[in-house]
Amino acid sequence: MSEILVTDGAASSTAAHHGYTPEKQAYLRRLRLIEGQARGVARMVENDEYCIDVLTQISAVTSALKAVSMGLLEDHLEHCVVNAAREGGQVAEEKMHEAMQAIRRLAK
Amino acid sequence: MSEILVTDGAASSTAAHHGYTPEKQAYLRRLRLIEGQARGVARMVENDEYCIDVLTQISAVTSALKAVSMGLLEDHLEHCVVNAAREGGQVAEEKMHEAMQAIRRLAK
Amino acid sequence: MSEILVTDGAASSTAAHHGYTPEKQAYLRRLRLIEGQARGVARMVENDEYCIDVLTQISAVTSALKAVSMGLLEDHLEHCVVNAAREGGQVAEEKMHEAMQAIRRLAK
Amino acid sequence: MSEILVTDGAASSTAAHHGYTPEKQAYLRRLRLIEGQARGVARMVENDEYCIDVLTQISAVTSALKAVSMGLLEDHLEHCVVNAAREGGQVAEEKMHEAMQAIRRLAK
């Protein structure tokens, strides 16, 4: 219960730049909230809380994860994939195909 | 609405007994794995990993949460709700209605 | 395109009675609307309408189907399953297990 | 790969050309099957078939619709959106944003 998020002090100056990079700190905050929510679910089970209340809390975690996924996907499509398409060649179709696989997983 | 569901005659003096109680330790293990997975997603973003890989990992967390939800719901329906129905009266419909709201949230 | 719904004029006087029976006519109306919506999607593709508009219409059909499913499931749980639980024996657990399989399919 | 999409100021006199056009007949066949499945669900309710069997059939229709949606979305992204990105300007982001709204609806 006392785990500390790896903060990776030595982020390289050459860190890859992705669609989500400008919003990285906001994503990290949201993910830490989600991690805390997941810990909260475990605590509810630990404390023998009522099944339906546990399910409600899990639904909240799932919704928060879906919102993060949709944000990351949007950033990816609007930046990485659009840029790949502008560069031309096979890469754009490949990027789009790869994104499509992610969308299929998200829509399951 | 009297919290101690089920009739289960031998409810411990220390804790409510729910449908998931016999599997409580297994659920706790699964939830801690999920918490670790959520932390792993934050670490991936911290390390600027590729968007699609982050999405894949979030899908894994979501699937794991859904599996836990389905297990908890099954335990709840097969024990708490079935027992409420056996006791008769309004309680069964109320329990089922409450479960149905949880199912609607899960199926969103 | 001119198919006519089987109306099964000779519904037996001993027709099985299910959770949804009291609402049968309402369900039939909703399902005929859904059938019409599905036909409308085919017409949109036939007429080369814009992909995104076709997707929007398919999402509407899917939402309508999900609403019908949730209604049928609720009727089933609140009547068939509750009654089975009252009768006692193995049947209640079996009914609930069967319902749970349906819920898993719906939540996919 | 050079189809004239979007912007289609110059929509052909015969028909708009969309990402799904090359597969139009296959999509129409699939949509007619789905329409028939929807009709079959209504028939099941008309005939008082068992709730769980109706739910199973609705799940099959929903899965078939989702498969069509995913196919249409993939065609749209890999052709319309990639082409828009190649043309440059604001259009690519707008197309992608529009597609993203469709994805959010599909992932609900």
Interval C53-92: pLDDT, tens: 999 999 999 999 999 999 999 999 988 888 888 887 788 7
Q: What is the pLDDT of residue A8?
A: 40
Q: Which amino acid is at B88?
A: G
Residue partners of C29: CB distance under 8 A and separation at least 6? none
Neighbours of chain A (3+ CB pairs under 8 A): B, D
Question: Do the chains contact at A72 and B58, CB–CB below 8 Å?
Answer: yes
pLDDT bin (cut points 50, 70, 90) of residue C6 is very low
Neighbours, chain C (3 or more CB pairs < 8 A):
B, D
Q: Do D55 and C69 touch (CB under 8 A)?
A: yes
* Mean pLDDT lowest among A98-102, B49-53, C17-21, D10-14: D10-14
For A105, nearest residue in chain D (alpha carbons): D107
Q: Is D98's pLDDT higher than 60?
A: yes
Q: Is the pLDDT of residue D11 over 50?
A: no
Question: What is the CA A28 to chain-centroid distance, rounded?
Answer: 9
Full-model pTM: 0.82
Residues of chain A under the 70 pLDDT cut? 1-16
**CA B13/CA A27 separation, integer angstroms:** 44
Confidence class for position C102, pLDDT limits 50, 70, 90 = very high
| pLDDT value of residue C44 | 97
- Which residues of D fall below an 8 Å CB-CB distance to A? 66, 70, 73-74, 77-78, 81-86, 88, 92-93, 96-97, 99-100, 103-104, 106-107
| CB spacing of B59 vs A69 below 8 angstroms | yes
Assess whether pLDDT exceeds 60 at residue D9.
no
Contact call for residues D14 and D89 (beta carbons, < 8 A): no
Q: Verify whether the Cβ–Cβ distance B78 to C100 is below 8 Å.
A: yes
Hey, what's the torsion of the CAs at C95, C97, C101, C107, to 10 degrees?
Answer: 100
Which member of B82, B88, B104 has the closest CB to residue C92? B82
> Is there a contact between D96 and A82 if contact means CB atoms under 8 Å apart?
yes
Distance in Å, alpha carbon of C91 to nearest chain D alpha carbon? 15
Check residue B6 and give its pLDDT. Answer: 42
Which pLDDT does position A16 carry in this prediction?
64
pLDDT at position C11 is 40
Secondary structure (3-state) at C14 = coil
Q: Determine the pLDDT at residue C40.
A: 97
Distance between CA atoms of residues A20 and A2, nearest Å? 28
Tokens at D107, concatenated: 């992932």
Given a cut of 80, is residue C2 above it in pLDDT?
no
Residues of chain B under the 70 pLDDT cut: 1-16
Which tokens hold the place of D69? 């949606």
CB within 8 Å: A51 and B105: no
